[in-house]
Amino acid sequence: MITAVIAAIAVPFLFACFYKNAISRPKNFPPGPPNLPIYGAYWLVLATEFNNLSEAFRKLSNWYKTKVVGMYLGPFLTIVVNDPGMIKDMLYHEDFDGRIDSVVMRLRSYWKKLGIFFTDGYFWHVQRRFSLRYMRDFGFGRRDEELEQVVEGEIKEMIDMAVNGPKYPVEHEFVKGDLVYMPHFFAVPFINGLLHVVSRMTLPRSEYHALYELARGALLFQRSSDDIGRALALTPWLKNVIPNWSGYNALKNGNQALLDFYTALLKEIAATQDDSHDRHFLDAYIRTMKQDNTKGRSTYSMDQLALICADYTLPAASAVEAVLSILVERLLLQPEVQDKIHEEIDRVVGRGRLPNLDDRKNLPYTEACIRETMRVDTLVPLGVAHRATVDTRFHGYDIPEGTMVTANYQTLHSSKEIWGDPEVFRPERFITDGQLNVALDKSLPFGAGRRLCAGETYARQCMFQVFSGFMQAFRVSTHDGQTLTKPVKRLQGIINTVPDFWVRVTPRG
Residue 257: band (very low, low, confident or very high) from pLDDT cuts 50, 70, 90: very high
pLDDT digits (tens, 9 = 90+) for 281-314: 999 999 999 998 777 788 999 999 999 999 999 9
Q: Rounded to an integer, what distance in angstroms lies between the CA atom of residue 32 and that of residue 399? A: 14
pLDDT at 105: 85
Percent of the chain with pLDDT over 70: 94
pLDDT at 14: 47
Neighbours of 105 (CB within 10 A): 20
- State in Å, rounded, how far the first CA of the chain is from the last one: 91
pLDDT at 233: 80
In a domain, 255, yes or no: yes
Q: Please say whether the beta carbons of 166 and 172 come within 8 A.
A: yes
pLDDT digits (tens, 9 = 90+) for 92-107: 999 999 999 888 888 8
Residue 491: strand, helix, or coil? strand
- Find, among 452, 450, 454, 455, the residue nearest to 95 by Cα: 450
DSSP string across 260-310: HHHHHHHHHHHHH-BTTB--SHHHHHHHHHHH---GGG----HHHHHHHHH
pLDDT at 207: 96
Q: Rounded to an integer, what distance in angstroms lies between the CA atom of residue 69 and that of residue 38? A: 19
pLDDT at 52: 86
Return the DSSP state at 342: H
- Find, among 128, 214, 220, the residue nearest to 453 by Cα: 128
Q: Rounded to an integer, what distance in angstroms lies between the CA atom of residue 263 and that of residue 448? A: 31
Q: Rounded to an integer, what distance in angstroms lies between the CA atom of residue 123 and that of residue 103? A: 19
In a domain, 214, yes or no: yes
Q: Tell me what the mean pLDDT of segment 197-225 comes to.
A: 93
In a domain, 482, yes or no: yes
In a domain, 55, yes or no: no
pLDDT at 226: 58
Determine the structural domain holding residue 310 and report its residue range: 75-507
Evaluate if residue 224 carries a pLDDT over 50. Answer: yes
Q: Tell me what the mean pLDDT of segment 365-394 comes to.
A: 96
Residues 6+ apart with CB under 8 A from 37: 18, 21
pLDDT at 358: 96
Residue 432: strand, helix, or coil? strand
pLDDT at 22: 57
Number of domains in the chain: 1
Query: In sequence order, what E strands does 31-160 have?
Result: 68-73, 76-81, 98-99
Q: Rounded to an integer, what distance in angstroms lies between the CA atom of residue 224 and that of residue 233? A: 12
Residue 139: strand, helix, or coil? coil
The CA dihedral of 176, 178, 181, 182, to the nearest 10 degrees, is: 180
Residues 6+ apart with CB under 8 A from 141: 132, 135, 454, 455, 457, 458
CA 372 to the chain's CA centroid? 17
Residues 328, 150, 222, 84, CA torsion sign? negative
Q: Rounded to an integer, what distance in angstroms lies between the CA atom of residue 476 and that of residue 208? A: 24
In a domain, 341, yes or no: yes
Extract the annotated binding site. 453
Extract the annotated binding site for heme. 453
pLDDT digits (tens, 9 = 90+) for 438-451: 999 999 999 999 99
Residue 277, domain CATH:
1.10.630.10
pTM attached to this predicted model: 0.93
Q: Rounded to an integer, what distance in angstroms lies between the CA atom of residue 21 and that of residue 4? A: 26
